[in-house]
Structure formats: structure tokens, C-alpha cells
Amino acid sequence: MEHVEPNIDGFKYYCSRFKNHFSFDERLTPWSCPHCKIGRLIAKEENFFCQETLILHSERKPSLQYSGFFICNCCDNKTFSTGTGKNNYYCGGDDETGDFTEMYVNEYTPQFFSPSIMLFNPPASTPQSVRDSLKRAFSICWCDIPASCNVLRVTVEILLKERWPEVPIVINGQNLNKKLNELKKIEASQPKLLEILDYFLAIKWLGNNGSHDAELEERDLAVAFKIMDKALILLYSRDDNSVSEWVRMINAAEGRPIKS
């Protein structure tokens, strides 16, 4: 029988997620502070109201709901959040002692943040209109995945107008697919821009699905966010250029002190 290698890229796609959960046993959460963009959000139990929601005529366990606020471990600002939770069972054994342990832990998943948190931080030179559109996508991704992906598609439209304001079809056209194809012709000699336009096309397809059949899942939006993050880095990050310039200056000076 022919040996078939597993599709690693497909597996990574399937496992992509952004809806991390948190518990009060581990107070430091995965999310950055939306105020200072530096610190991490901390979940202190005394800052949250948690309650069980009973499920009638069902054998399922009661679900949990929470509301409250996180505190930044850097700037101390508060971020309000609501969401749901589950009482999960964990068990395991200690290989050295042979002891068996078991525990129940309440774990919570956010459905809303205020202010909305950034799932990734775009480069500093990213246009404000693009940042604002991203914030709208981030604000609803927790509770409405198809709508969030559609907003990300709108972000692509905004990006095209910011980057190619002189191209008539970009400003006046209604069909995003035609815009991308036209820009590929215009930028045919620019491999980097062609790669970015392919990124935008992938987001466009996912956004279309979000608009028409609402069958998108968390992994689809998680991948769309990763694609947008990479596209913005390619378009607006200048880190590589600054390093290259420093290398040129040092080599030209042959180790002598560089004066301003």
C-alpha cells in the first residue's frame, strides 16, 4: 500500500483557534491589554460575578455565565468582559509516586470585551482606517464568526484604497474579485505585492462564505486573522530596512565610530 504523508498544513488549519479560555486558578490570561498594548490581562475572582444557568429537561450539566473586569498587570486599567463557562473534569497520575489526582475546574470563554482587545498588533505605520476596521472585526469575533470575517473582508477593501488610491477600479469598482485581478496585472513585476494580493483573495473567499451561508467556523476566522497579520507586516513593517541601513553604515565605516 502506498504510504501517504499527513497533510501538515491542513492539520494546522484545522487546529487553528483564537477563543482561548481562562480560569481563576491561572490568573494571567492569554490576552494583551487593549489600553497600553503592553501588559497582560489578569483575572481576579473577586472582580467577576459568576452564576450557573440551569438547563431544563436535559441531561447536560448546567452552563456557567460570567461578567466582570480584567485588570492589566502593567497599567492597571480595567477591561470589561462577559462570557460563558463550563465545569471541566481533569484527572491524572504521578509517575513517581503512583498517586492519582482528580479535580473540577471552572473554565470561561469570553463572548465580549470592552474595549475590544487586539488579537494581533498591526505595524505602527498601518493606516488608522485599517486599524478601526480591524477593531470592529475583533469586537464581534467572539460571538459572531461569520460577521467578523465579513468585516475582515471589508478591511481588505479599505486596504486597497489606502495602498492604490490612484487606480480607478479600486475606488469606484464594486466587485472585489475584479479589483484584485486588475491589481495583479498592474503589479505583475512586484512578487511581494502579488503575494499580498493572494492573501487578500483568500480573505475575500472566507468573507464571501460568511456573507452567504454562515458556515464559517472558529478555525476559518483564526486563519483569516493570521493571513491579515502577515499581509500587514509585509505591507507596513519597516524593521528589515532599518537593520539593512545599519549594516551598510557599519561596513562602510569599517568599525570606526559612526557620527550623526
Percent of the chain past pLDDT 90, that is, above it, reads 62
Q: What is the per-residue pLDDT for 4?
A: 43
Query: Do residues 121 and 144 lie in contact, with contact meaning Cβ atoms separated by under 8 Å?
Result: no
Q: What is the per-residue pLDDT for 259?
A: 60
Q: What is the per-residue pLDDT for 245?
A: 61
Task: Give the whole-angstrom CA distance, residue 138 versus residue 228.
Answer: 12
All three cell numbers of 115, joined, read 474595549
CA dihedral 143, 130, 220, 141 (to 10 degrees): -10
Residues of the chain under the 50 pLDDT cut: 1-4, 242
- How many helices, marked H, and strands, marked E, lie in the chain? 8, 6
Task: Give the whole-angstrom CA distance, residue 88 versus residue 20.
Answer: 15
Q: What is the per-residue pLDDT for 173?
A: 86
Query: Do residues 164 and 183 lie in contact, with contact meaning Cβ atoms separated by under 8 Å?
Result: yes
Q: How far, CA to CA in Å, does 115 sit from each of 101, 112, 215? A: 39, 9, 28
* DSSP-derived pairing of the beta strands 63-72 and 40-42: antiparallel
pLDDT tens, residue by residue, 30-78: 999 999 988 999 999 999 999 987 665 555 666 899 999 999 999 999 9
Question: DSSP per residue over 134-174, as a string?
Answer: HHHHHHHTTT-HHHHHHHHHHHHHHHHHHH-TT-HHHHH--
For residue 107, give every residue at least 6 positions away whose Cβ sits within 8 Å of its Cβ, in sequence order, or none.
Answer: 21, 22, 23, 85, 86, 88
Q: What is the per-residue pLDDT for 1?
A: 38
